A and B are shown apart, each in its own frame.
Chain A
Amino acid sequence: MNAIEIRGLSKSFRGMYAVDHLNMTVPVGAIYGFIGENGSGKSTTEKLICGHLVPNEGEIKLFGREYTDAGVRVRVGALIENAGCFPGSSIYQNLMMQAINLNLENRDEEIRRVLKIVRMEQHASLKFKKCSLGMKQRVGIAMALLGDPALLILDEPINGLDTDGMRIMREILVDITQNYGCTVLISSHLLGELEKIATHYGIIRQGKMIVEMSAAELEGRARVFVSVKTKDLVGAKTALKAKYTTVKEEDGYLRVYDVDDTESIVEYLLQNGHVVSEIKKNKIGLEEYYVELMSQPTAQKEEK
């Protein structure tokens, strides 16, 4: 069973497709990193899953049930665009409203529990409008966590946060996914952050899903390369290009792609009169994979 299964989902606004016959599969228990450029259709897809938007066509199933099923929807927690809290009410009051909405028993206990998870237990009485951006995002996560959700949908929860806020948010996300075991769909532009926690990825462009893969598949697909530093980068590059297919200069290093034999590179460069001052093996990360994918023409990506 999949937590989310979407087939042929479309949504248009004034004739323009924001989501265009999208297919998506999120396995139960996954932390699904949903990646795409601004306006690629990430938020629209998330809003469609949450029932905020009415699709033009397509099918959405959550845990094998229709997404309109009341039983499954009470187990969905979402943070979409903002926390959805009343600014004049305190954090506690906002959480209490959501706890009442979900018909939770032991509401006070449950509120304290989620506040502890998001490290906000000291700020329960603070008015929501007095919270910083990072605090607001954490309150939003707390709202989504109320009532033991089976599926969490988080739209850009890290964006706009400072370094410390980002660290706290990452710790919270790791905590809730590892210790509370719910499926998480998380969209973010901060791929480095996402790479630390995601088990699956979906890359969307112009409303279409380009590629879906697990973190293990990404690892398998990732190109290996060797970074080399020499005094004469231009000369070394010319020499390497004569033997290796792809050689690029990046941040003062030469990258020799699809090779992991460092010894042969050092030996080859020495034979050509270049002394290697630094050399290391590397693998392309999510960010580079994404950039590479986005730089290809659309048709080629769809073939992939």
Chain B
Amino acid sequence: MVDVAMVGAGQTKFGNHPLGLKGMWSEAIEKAFSSVDNDCLPSMVDEAFIGSIAFGGSQLGNTAALLTEHSGMDGVSVRRVENACASSGFALRDAWMTIKSGQADIVVAGGIEKMNDLSAERKRYWLGVSGDTEWERLAGLTFPGTYALTARRYFHEFESTHDDLVHVSVKNHMHGLDNEVAHLRKDVSFEKASSGAMVADPLTLYDCCPTSDGASAVILVADHLAHQFTDTPIWVKGSGAGSDKLALHDRPSLTQLRATQLASQKAYSIANVQPNQIDLAEVHDCFTIAEVLATEDLGFAGRGEGGLFARNGQGRRNEGNVTINASGGLKSKGHPLGATGTGQAVEVFKQLRHQVEAPRQVRDAEIGLTHNVGGSGATCAVHIFGRER
């Protein structure tokens, strides 16, 4: 079967972006194509998959056609992929499968979201559309609420306290401090992160990622074309995806994400890689408790030991077996819903090519992983990348 290589990747800065959808997308595409070592043009693309929730309802229909129209990909077969916050993780998977199946040779996967030019009321409405509307939302829950329920239960079931979440927050802010594309670039002390304003008890402001504007894109090609474009392709060694019950209360466990477990098991199996071989992982820390669960569900820590993992600083850059969220993660880099998944891939692409600015570079990075979750865990896509095929 065809192998798939990533030969280009680019993104806008995440945060309060002055541009609209067309401007942000074209900037991400421009950067992705200019990152390819040898000539590669938008007109060469066979297929494109663009993840977005179309937050705010802006160009809700035919979003993808508008974006490719404005990025030099006229006539390309394109569609919007929507799986909440995992939209572009699934766009990446769709792109990978398209090349694997032999139906296309050059495919763009990306994502975009414009979140910060809405009124507070409208923003809160759109932040809640991906949860379970009929049962959870009518009980007063949006995602801070569902993750708060998970956190409190986690503390009850295991030897863990809110301090463990504070460690996650401090680490990710430290990692994001030097990241030029990060939304929140600030050093946050343990004391400060411990005393944030309560959002959903026990989660405070420092446990929650920001809402960001942004776009990201990667260029995937079939193996026979990889070295036409670069001498250092990054291989997509494995892709896995899974789903779970939409509502938290319908799941057997409140402290595990089955979708992550299913997705990672498939990705590890296809890549023939074990968790202890991963050098860096960009995990979906929409809330700090989500990173604690992810370290367990992805196999970096044992069941119930994710809090301890954070407490011991095991995910810090170049300090443990695996660096967790070298980019700053969603907590610091930001979370433009639909753009987050391929934004993670952009970071891994640069890290594995050893092209990240000095203080942020993960030493000797050979294998990286991205973990992109939709909602409170209803969907998940995991990808494993490597310098070696």
Task: Please indicate whether A and B come from the same complex rather than being unrelated chains.
Answer: no
By a beta-carbon cutoff of 8 Å, the part of chain A in contact with chain B is none
